[in-house]
A and B are shown apart, each in its own frame.
Chain A
Amino acid sequence: MNFSNLFRIAYRALLRNKLRAFLTMLGIIIGVASVIAMVAIGQGSKQSIHDQLSSMGTNMLTVQPASNLNGGVRIAGTSFQTLTSKDIDALKNHPQYITELSPSVSSKGQAINGALNWPTTMTGVSPEYLDIRKLSVKDGIPFTQNDVLTSAKVCLIGQTVIDNIFPNGENPIGKIIRFGHIPFQIIGVLSPKGFNTFGQDQDDILIAPYTTVQKRILATIYYSNIYASAASEDVTDLAVTEMTNKLRASHRLRDSEDNDFTVRTQQELIATLSSTSGLLTVLLTVVASISLVIGGIGIMNIMYVSVTERTKEIGLRMSIGARGKDILLQFLMEAILISITGGVIGVLLGFLSTQIVTMTLGWPTIISQSSVVLSFVVCAVTGIFFGYYPAQKASRLDPIEALRYE
């Protein structure tokens, strides 16, 4: 029997009982649709969690001078002065996994506006720092590379500082304040970030070009830290290795010598991120497989009942020349048609319900291509798998018995 005849036989058999075909399909439809919708919702929330965690800078790396032994006395790393512009140049040389770099120097001091003053920290950085730390400028503009080159006396101001030295709500942009003795023009206001996990107020800050802080305040050529971004949090470890190698070379350390710096990552954040997405993936996989198995059992159930119900039809087909193989293929073909049609309807329904969820509940959703393809393929395969047993049963009927079946 050729394929088109087989297709025609199965197609006509399904059309003869549309309700039964539809009920069988229902399992697959719901299975596919729920997998697509669940995965879309899951991916959406995963993405939004991911975005939130990323906003904390999961791919951020920091370099600090390391503690060291000096004549038997351990000396805190921060009091060492090892990081210089040479290191920045070395790191900027053909970076592989590092996308952005910023040196950092900071100085404690009083921010003064007329009669008001507030003790705060001025951090000197390059313009990339805002990206690395996921900071943004709410009002005004950030400083530029040109400001860095000219050691311009400009700064960005955090909300806490504003609250204390501009208590009456006046616009601080363009105002001149003093930090210690040095006047700075405020060119931008940082978006508030609140307190970090250690209780530090992240808005109690002034940010200025690092050259300004180095030359005009601290009179140093050293950096206290170097901040960097890895290309993504997945390659953080590779970025650490890259930085370590480059810095060792730049510091001319021999193989026997320990690093005179440490590279730190946001491991805690990364761990949270991966465990959250891992949990979601497991949850979705479980839900998806349950739906698919139920869909498959639905097909098997109806096909099985259908074999019994259609015993006489099978007997007739056999008596007019259908071989066992033809009957087997017919029932398999019916199962395949049901699965594929159900799969297509399920995909459409999945898209629709995802849209409805997004519109009514406002949940973020992302329909991933792989979930569509995978659920469709798995459904088709389960349909065939679960359709095979009833089909085989049908093909083994004795035509004499089947014809006499009432």
Chain B
Amino acid sequence: MSKKALEIKELKREFKMGSETVRALKGITFDVEPGEFVTIMGSSGSGKTTLLNILGCLDKPTIGDYFLDGVDIKKLNRDELAQLRNHKIGFVFQSYNLLARTSALENVELPLLYNKGISVSERRERAMHALEAVKLENRFDHMPNQLSGGQQQRVAIARALVNQPVMILADEATGNLDSRTSYEIMALMQELNSTQGKTIVFVTHEPDIAAFSSRTIQLRDGIVQKDTKNENPKSAKEMLAALPVTDDYKI
């Protein structure tokens, strides 16, 4: 059996709010195999965000284990977690979080600046490849405010890809986009998943986004309510083609 992309065992997370203890996650167990496209769904209050923070190594579980690519994150300190995020996780946020007044290329280079082992030329080359992978090869010098929302999100995806992470962790990555652009982003995600074998964990509350993934984990009140394999994920590319042609804007 190959190494799991991530393993979660009996994971609990509690917050102390004054004298009360809030139990956001009440014991969650699941694994993700390399190359899976998992969506984590849940309404607000389900513990989705807490789980995302832990999956993203921004937070540690109170009780339980989390192994990311075989690394036990409980044993790591703040700085080591930062290194781990740098090497193994690519974040994609709802609000893109690109640095303003910074070109697409420099935004994509950013994670590599925190990676010691990368030379200047390699950094540039990898950033350019990542932007080519998200089909923005002629937008290198554009500032975020010169790009559409979908393009900005694709820059963010390129930034997530550039360090060749074990997992891409997307947090409502289509939340700020219209449905056409959402499909485009999902088509890109599916392509990365199928052609490059990237493991993708996609946190969302939109059921139609979940339909594009190969597996859906439904959270409710801090526990896994449902964990279903989706044998026939919809193709975002086909959905996109099926959409009526509009002239809202052209890519």
Tell me, yes or no, whether A403 is within 8 Å of chain B by CB: yes
Near B by CB (< 8 A), chain A positions 315-360 give 315-326
Residues of B contacting A313 with CB < 8 Å?
Answer: 99
Q: A1-B113, A2-B116, A326-B114 are in contact. Are A321 and B97 (CB under 8 A)?
A: no
Residues of B within 8 A of A319 (CB): 56, 58, 85, 91
CB interface residues, B 51-99, toward A, < 8 Å: 53, 56, 58-59, 78-79, 82-83, 85-87, 91, 93, 97, 99
Contact with A along B18-51 (1 / 0, CB 8 A): 0000000000000000000000000000000000
Task: List the B residue with the shortest CB-CB distance to A324.
Answer: B78
Number of interface residues of A (CB under 8 A): 27
CA distance A4 to B86 in the complex (A): 18
**Inside 8 A of A403's CB, which chain B residues have their CB?**
58, 93, 97
Distance in angstroms between the alpha carbons of A324 and B85 in the assembled complex: 13
If over half of A's interface residues share one DSSP class (helix, strand or loop), that class is named, otherwise mixed; here it is helix
Q: Given the complex of chains A and B, what is the CA–CA distance between A315 and B100 in angstroms?
A: 14
Which A residues touch B120, using CB under 8 A? 4
Number of B residues, CB within 8 Å of A:
28
Q: How many A-B residue pairs have CB under 8 A?
A: 70
| Complex contact A16–B102 (CB within 8 A) | yes
B159 located at the interface, meaning its Cβ lies under 8 Å from any Cβ of chain A in the complex? yes
The smallest C-beta distance from A401 to any residue of chain B, in angstroms, reads 10
Q: Which residues of B contact A399 (CB under 8 A)?
A: 58
In the bound complex, how far is the Cα of B81 from the Cα of A399, in angstroms? 11
Q: Which B residues lie within 8 Å of A9 (CB)? A: 113
| Residue B106 at the chain A interface, CB threshold 8 Å | yes
- CA separation between A400 and B83, bound complex, in Å? 16
- Of all A-B residue pairs in the complex, the 3 with the closest CB atoms, nearest first, are A321-B86, A323-B82, A321-B114
Of the A-B pairs whose beta carbons lie under 8 Å apart in the complex, a sample of 27, sorted by A's number, is A2-B116, A5-B114, A9-B113, A15-B101, A16-B100, A16-B101, A16-B102, A17-B101, A315-B97, A316-B97, A318-B58, A319-B58, A319-B85, A320-B91, A320-B111, A320-B159, A321-B82, A321-B83, A321-B87, A321-B111, A321-B114, A322-B82, A323-B82, A324-B78, A325-B79, A400-B58, A400-B59
Write the residues of chain A forming the contact surface with B, with a CB cutoff of 8 angstroms: 1-2, 4-5, 8-9, 12, 15-17, 312-313, 315-326, 399-400, 403
